[in-house]
Structure 1
Amino acid sequence: MSTLCEVSSTETMQRAKYGDDYKQDFDPEVYLEMYYTDLKGQTSEGDMLETSMLFWHETFAQGNITGHRLLDIGTGPTIHTVISASNCCDTIHLSEFAPQNRETLRKWLEGTLQHSFKSFFQYVVDREGKGELSSAREAMLKDKIVGIFPLDLLQAEPLLPSLFPTFDIITSSLCIEAAAPDLAGYEIIARRVGKLLKEGGHIALFGVLGESFYQVGSHTFYCLKISGEQVQDIWKRSGFKIVGWKQKSSLGHDASLSDFEGVFHMVAQKSL
C-alpha cells in the first residue's frame, strides 16, 4: 500500500506544481476567489469548507485546548483556521512559505485587502452564540497576531531565520500533505512540527485524504495521496497521542479542481 502511494505521488509530482513553484505560480487572489469567497465559495468545494469551519469551532469551543502561544502552520492567504482558536490563546503566530501569501495576510492585517472574510467571522460568532459582533472578533484576532513568519517544512528548522520557544498549540489546514513529497517525507515533517510544540501541547489538523492534485486557476498543484490510517500511524510514531479523529467522505465535488476522496480532522497531544 505505501509503495503504491509513493509511486503514484512521484508520478503526480512530475507533472504538477510543487515546492518552489508556489513562489512563482500560486496566485492568492485566484485561490481566495475560487475557494474562499464565502462559506459556499464559488465552487462545489463549499462542503469541505463548511466542514472545516465546524471542526475548528468544535475543537476550541469545548475549552479543553488552551495556551498562551499558538502557531498556525502554512496559513496560506486565508485566516479562517485561527478564528475559533483566537478565544483560547493570548498570541498567534502565522507562518507561510509563499511570499505573496504572506503579503496577502499583511494586507488583511492592515485593512487594505479587498477580499473579505466577514462570512467566516460571522459563522464563528453565530456558532458561539455570545452575541459578539463579527467585526469585533476580527479586531480581536488581529490584536493577537504577533507576526507573519516565513516557513519551509522541507528544512530541518522550518521557521528559520526566526527562533521561538516551543508553542502551546499548533494548528494547520491543507498544508502538510501539500508539502510532503512522499510518506517518509510526511513523517519527517510531522517530527519537525512536533519539535515546535511543548510536551503536553496540542496540534489540531484539517486535511484531505486520497488527493493527488488541486487546481488554482490554470495551475495544477501536487498533493500527497494519503489515507486516514496512514495519517494516524505517522503521528503516533512521531510522539503524539490522538485524542480526536473524524473523517468524512467527499459528498461530490468538481473533479477538475481536485481528486480528493475525503477530509479528516485530528486533534493530538504531544506525549509527556
Structure 2
Amino acid sequence: MDPCTHKLYHDEGFDSRQWLEHYFSDKSALVFRDDITLFPIECFAKTFSEGHIKGDVLIDLSVGPLVHHLFAACEYFKHIVVMKVSDRCIMELKRWVDERTGAFDWGHAAKLHAYIDIKSDQLENKEQNVRSALYHVVKCDLEKENMMDPIVLPPADCVISFWLLDAISKDQDDYRRHLRKFSKLLKPGGHIILIGSLDATYYTVGKHKFHILTYDENFVRKALAEQGFIIDCYKRKERIIVDDLCDCKVLFYIVAHKEK
C-alpha cells in the first residue's frame, strides 16, 4: 500500500496521549492487553532475567511515550537514554517521569510485570526504579547520520526499538537505512531488541490512520543479517482479537547481537 495514503508517525500530528489511551490503558485491556502489553512484558522479563544482556547504557528508540517494556530492563543498566522524534511524546513521558498530575497511569503494566517476574522488586518500587534509571529523555533527528547531533553518545550495550522502525519507514529501503543507524549506536557484541508487526498496513489514532510498513519475517531476518546481527531469540504472537484500530496480524520479538 502507498504510504502516502496514511499519515506518518513522525511528521503528521501524532497524538501520543490518545494513542496510549487507545492501545495501552487499563480500559483497553480486553482488546490489546495480551498482544501489546502482556506479550512484550513476558518477553523482556525472560530475556533480562537470564542475565546475559546488561551493562552501562541502554538506548530506547520506541514509538510513542512507552515505558512498560523498560520495567524489566532498568535493573540491568546504569543509565537508560530514551530518544524520541516528537516533542509531544517527550512531554508526555516526562510528565510520567516527574510524577505530575495527569500523567498516564502505567500501574496495570507494573502489576503484570511484578506478577510475571518472580525476581522483581516489590510493586511499589518498580515504577520508581524506571524513573531513576532514565538518565536522559531527548529529541533525535531521524534524517541526520548522528541522530543526536551535536550530542555524541557513548556506544550502548543494548538498543531497544518497540514498533518505531515500522512506524517511521516509508519502504523497505528506509527500514534498512534506519536499522543501520540504530546499529551504529551499539558497541561490538551489543544487543538489539526489536518488537514489530508482520503484514500490517495501518494503526488508528482518533480519526486518523497512520502508516505501518508492510513486511514479512524473511525481510526482517535478512535486514538484521545485513547489519551484522545474529539472532539469538525470535518469538511471534498471533493477534487474539481482530479490531479495526489496527490491522496487525502478528507481533514479533527479536533479540540479536552484533558480531564483534
Tell me if TM exceeds 0.5. Answer: yes
Quick check: 1:36 aligned with 2:14?
Answer: no
Question: Which of 205, 218, 234 is residue 245 of structure 1 equivalent to?
Answer: 234
Distance in 2, matches of 1:127 and 1:78, equals 19
Question: Which of 30, 35, 42 is residue 54 of structure 1 equivalent to?
Answer: 42
Quick check: 1:257 aligned with 2:233?
Answer: no
Residues 36-64 of structure 1, C-alpha deviations (whole Å, 9 max, x = no match): 113x7256222212212211111111111
Quick check: 1:145 aligned with 2:134?
Answer: yes
Distance 1:135 1:181, change over 3 A: same
**TM-score normalized by the length of structure 1:** 0.90
Question: Which of 158, 175, 178 is residue 164 of structure 2 equivalent to?
Answer: 175
Q: Provide the residue aligned with 1:26 in structure 2.
A: 14
**TM-score normalized by the length of structure 2:** 0.94
Residues 98-151 of structure 1, C-alpha deviations (whole Å, 9 max, x = no match): 110100111111101432101111221222224732221111111111110112
Q: Which sections of structure 2, spanning at least 5 residues, go unmatched?
A: none
Question: Which of 7, 10, 25 is residue 17 of structure 1 equivalent to?
Answer: 7
Q: Provide the residue aligned with 1:68 in structure 2.
A: 56
User: What amino acid maps onto 2:28 in structure 1?
Assistant: G
Distance in 1, matches of 2:224 and 2:233, equals 12
Identity of aligned residues (%): 26
Alignment of 1:58-97 (within 5 A): 58-97=46-85
Distance 1:28 1:20, change over 3 A: closer
Structure 1 runs (4+) greater than 6 angstroms displaced: none
Question: Which of 197, 203, 223 is residue 214 of structure 1 equivalent to?
Answer: 203
The alpha-carbon deviation at position 155 of structure 1 amounts to: 3.0
> Contact 1:201–1:270 at 8 Å: present in 2 too?
yes
> Contact 2:233–2:255 at 8 Å: present in 1 too?
yes
> Contact 1:154–1:179 at 8 Å: present in 2 too?
no
Q: Provide the residue aligned with 2:256 in structure 1.
A: 268
User: What amino acid maps onto 2:56 in structure 1?
Assistant: H
Secondary structure in 2 aligned to 1:21? coil
Residues 61-95 of structure 1, C-alpha deviations (whole Å, 9 max, x = no match): 11111111100003521211211111111110011
Quick check: 1:195 aligned with 2:192?
Answer: no
Q: Provide the residue aligned with 2:95 in structure 1.
A: 107
Two-structure CA RMSD over aligned residues (Å): 1.6
> Contact 2:24–2:32 at 8 Å: present in 1 too?
no
The alpha-carbon deviation at position 172 of structure 1 amounts to: 1.3
